[in-house]
Amino acid sequence: MKSFVHHCRAAFWLLACVVTVGTSATRAADYRPQALLDELESFPHALSIARSTEVVRDHEIGLGPIQKSMGAWVFRDSVRMNGELQRATWQIVDGFTSREVLKRLERNLAGQVTATRLFACDGRACGSGSQWANRVFGQRLLYGRADDQSYRVYAVEGGEGAYRVLLYSGARTADRQYLHVDVLTLAAEADEGLL
């Protein structure tokens, strides 16, 4: 009986994988990164701290660590883009870490054929956590230990346009874990000649 149950479970998971792979190709063109925000809203271990939407012009996206140069904090590399920016910050609770949740979101993004990772860093390689929290994302709660920060930037091409997705995780303590997501829906003129 155990063998039969084991085979049934294996067959179920194989079928689920086949269905997922088959439908992912047709959904790739329809993928919208806002699904990440919805996923976090429904994740029972994420408490929403802040959420906003605004139209931005020449919004700077860091494609390198943030560092001090000639007395000013700047990205080693960056690009400026126009569009509609959705920002959201969550506190991760119940023993989950913000980095763990970031990796889950990143796996979802990486599984999209239209998503390309443009930059990634972890820990001190990202630069000053204080600058990421305050200057870049405007959320002081994100500031934590330099070794516990992670940052990712993805370009996503979807059926409804082009996007840039930024993921940032930071931890102050084991109980104070935070995750921030930016989704920039690019303005039509921003699609040409930019990352």
Residue 39, pLDDT score = 86
**Quick one: pLDDT at residue 7?**
45
What's residue 155's pLDDT?
A: 95
According to DSSP, residue 178 is labeled: E
- pLDDT of the residue at 185: 94
Structural domain boundaries of the chain? 1-29, 31-191
**What pLDDT score was predicted for residue 164?**
96
The 10s digit of each residue's pLDDT in 134-187 is 889 988 889 888 889 999 999 998 777 899 999 999 998 888 999 999 999 999
pLDDT of residue 195: 52
Tokens 């609770």, residue located: 93
Q: How many residues does the chain have?
A: 195
Q: What does the buried/exposed string (b/e) look like for 103-114 if buried means 16 or more CB atoms within 10 Å of the residue's CB?
A: bebbeebeebeb
Residues 6+ apart with CB under 8 A from 39: 105, 108
Residue numbers of the chain with a pLDDT score lower than 50: 2, 4-27, 190-193
Eight-state DSSP code of residue 189: G
Q: What's the predicted TM-score (pTM) here?
A: 0.79
d(CA 162, CA 118): 14
The domain made up of 31-191 has a fold known as: Protein Transport Mog1p; Chain A (3.40.1000)
